[in-house]
Structure formats: structure tokens, C-alpha cells
């Protein structure tokens, strides 16, 4: 219950802060999203994509330490 209340309060605070920042921003600046100011919003994790050659190099180094 405390977690939900904290998330609700931060949501309201983040919206007010974003509104204030966006009202006073200079021309050319990007608008600020309330989600960027809210510590409870989970940011999506970046996926790492490796090429086949890189993957094979990692596997060889891990499982065949003497191989080149």
C-alpha cells in the first residue's frame, strides 16, 4: 500500500515538474516527458546484438582457452 501511494505521489509530482520545465524551456529544446522525471518508471533495457563472428569468438574464448 505504501509502494502504491509513493508511485501515485511521484506520478503527480513528475507531471507538475514536466509542465513547469516545458513552460519555461527555450526554443529548440525538446519537451520533457513526466516519465523521465519519475523514479518509479522502469526504463526499457537496451538489447545487445552480436554478430555471428563475435558470438563464436566469445564461445571459443570461454570454452576453448587454448584455441585461436
| DSSP states along 16-62 | HHHHHHHHTPPTTPPPPPHHHH-TTSPPPPPPP---HHHHHHHHHHH
pLDDT in tens, 10-62: 999 999 999 999 999 999 999 999 999 999 988 778 888 889 999 888 888 88
Eight-class DSSP state of 24: T
Q: Return the pLDDT at 44.
A: 77
Which of 32, 44, 41 has the alpha carbon at shortest distance from 11? 41
Q: Where are the beta strands (DSSP E) in 1-68?
A: none
Checking if the pLDDT of 67 tops 90, the result is no
Which of 3, 10, 2 has the alpha carbon at shortest distance from 37? 10
The residue extents of the domains of the chain are 2-63
For the whole model, what pTM was predicted? 0.59
Amino acid at each position: 500500500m505504501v509502494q502504491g501511494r509513493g508511485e501515485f505521489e511521484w506520478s503527480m509530482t513528475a507531471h507538475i515538474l514536466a509542465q513547469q520545465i516545458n513552460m519555461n524551456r527555450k526554443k529548440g529544446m525538446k519537451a520533457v516527458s513526466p516519465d523521465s522525471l519519475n523514479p518509479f518508471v522502469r526504463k526499457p533495457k537496451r538489447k545487445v546484438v552480436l554478430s555471428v563472428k563475435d558470438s563464436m569468438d566469445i564461445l571459443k574464448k570461454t570454452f576453448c582457452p587454448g584455441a585461436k
